[in-house]
Chain A
Amino acid sequence: MAGLLQDQAQDMGGDAPSTGSQFDDPALEQAIEYLGQRLYAEDISIEIAKVVEKSPTPQPKMLAEIAYRLAESSDVETDGDIKEENLSIIGMVALNEVAEIAEQAGMQITPADVSAAFQEMVLIFAREQGLSKDEIATLEASMRQVDDAELAQGAEALPDDFDEQIPDEDVPVGDENAEVGAENNQQMMRV
Chain B
Amino acid sequence: MSKVVKKIGKAVKKVVKGVVKGVKKVWKKVKQSKFLKVVAIAAAVYFGGAALMGGIGGMGAGAGGFMAGAKAGVASAWGGLTGAGTALMSGNIAGAGSSLASGFTGAKAAGLATGANALTPIAVTATKVAPTYAGAAGATGAGSGTVSGYSSLGNAAAAGKSAGLNAAAPGAASAAPTGYSSLGNAAAAGKSTGLNAAAPGAVGGSSTVASTVAPSGVPISTATPAFVSPTTGAMGANVAGTTAGASPGLLGRVWTGLGPYGQAAAVMSGGQMLSGGIAAYQQDKAAREALAAYQANMGSPIALPVYNPATGRYENPLLTDGGGVA
Which residues of A sit under 8 angstroms from B273, Cβ to Cβ?
65-66, 69
A92 touches B22 (CB 8 A): yes
Contacts A76-B4, A84-B14 given; does A174 touch B33 at CB 8 Å:
no
Contacts A84-B18, A171-B17, A185-B249 given; does A8 touch B32 at CB 8 Å:
yes
Q: Tell me whether B267 is interfacial, beta carbon within 8 Å.
A: yes
A6 to B29, CA, bound (A): 13
Contacts A111-B38, A155-B41 given; does A88 touch B15 at CB 8 Å:
yes
B22: contacting residue among A54, A89, A125, A142, CB under 8 A: A89
For A111, the closest partner residue in chain B by CB is B38
A22 to B14, CA, bound (A): 20
For B267, the closest partner residue in chain A by CB is A76
A171: contacting residue among B48, B65, B269, CB under 8 A: B48
Task: Give the total number of A-B pairs whose CB atoms are below 8 A apart.
Answer: 330
Q: Tell me whether A16 is interfacial, beta carbon within 8 Å.
A: no
Contacts A73-B270, A160-B31, A181-B92 given; does A119 touch B42 at CB 8 Å:
yes
Q: Nearest Cβ in chain A — how far from B286, in angstroms?
A: 13
Which residues of B sit under 8 angstroms from A173, Cβ to Cβ?
13, 16-17, 48, 78-79, 82-83
A151 touches B81 (CB 8 A): no
Q: Tell me whether A58 is interfacial, beta carbon within 8 Å.
A: no
B83 touches A174 (CB 8 A): yes
As a 0/1 sequence over residues 24 to 53 of chain A, the CB contacts with chain B under 8 angstroms (1 = contact) are 000000000000000000001001101100
A96 touches B35 (CB 8 A): yes
A154 touches B59 (CB 8 A): yes
Q: Tell me whether B200 is interfacial, beta carbon within 8 Å.
A: no
Size bracket of the B interface? 35 or more
Decide if the interface of chain B is mainly helix, strand, loop or mixed: helix
Which residues of A sit under 8 angstroms from B92, Cβ to Cβ?
178, 181
Contacts A93-B26, A111-B35, A173-B83 given; does A184 touch B281 at CB 8 Å:
no
Question: Which of these binds chain A: B66-74, B178-186, B209-217?
Answer: B66-74
A4 touches B32 (CB 8 A): yes
Q: Tell me whether A107 is interfacial, beta carbon within 8 Å.
A: no
A142 touches B70 (CB 8 A): yes
A185 to B247, CA, bound (A): 12
Q: Tell me whether B37 is interfacial, beta carbon within 8 Å.
A: yes
Q: Tell me whether A130 is interfacial, beta carbon within 8 Å.
A: yes
Q: Tell me whether A99 is interfacial, beta carbon within 8 Å.
A: yes
Which residues of B sit under 8 angstroms from A86, Cβ to Cβ?
18, 22
Contacts A83-B18, A142-B107 given; does A174 touch B86 at CB 8 Å:
yes
As a 0/1 sequence over residues 91 to 120 of chain A, the CB contacts with chain B under 8 angstroms (1 = contact) are 111011001100100000001101100110
Most buried by B among A79, A88, A141: A88
B66 touches A150 (CB 8 A): yes
B73 touches A126 (CB 8 A): no
A178 touches B21 (CB 8 A): no
As a 0/1 sequence over residues 18 to 59 of chain B, the CB contacts with chain A under 8 angstroms (1 = contact) are 111111111111111111111111110111110011101101
A50 touches B278 (CB 8 A): yes
A155 touches B38 (CB 8 A): yes
Q: Nearest Cβ in chain B — how far from A138, in angstroms?
A: 5
A126 to B84, CA, bound (A): 12
Q: Tell me whether B128 is interfacial, beta carbon within 8 Å.
A: no
Extra contacts, 13 of them, besides A142-B107, A154-B56 (Cβ < 8 A), are A51-B281, A69-B274, A91-B43, A118-B43, A129-B85, A131-B85, A151-B38, A151-B67, A154-B66, A157-B59, A178-B87, A184-B90, A185-B251
7 closest cross-chain pairs (CB), A and B: A85-B18, A69-B270, A181-B90, A150-B66, A84-B14, A145-B70, A51-B277
21 contacts between A and B (CB under 8 A): A3-B33, A22-B28, A73-B270, A79-B3, A80-B7, A85-B18, A86-B22, A96-B36, A100-B34, A130-B253, A138-B107, A143-B74, A152-B38, A163-B27, A173-B17, A174-B82, A174-B86, A174-B99, A178-B86, A181-B89, A181-B90
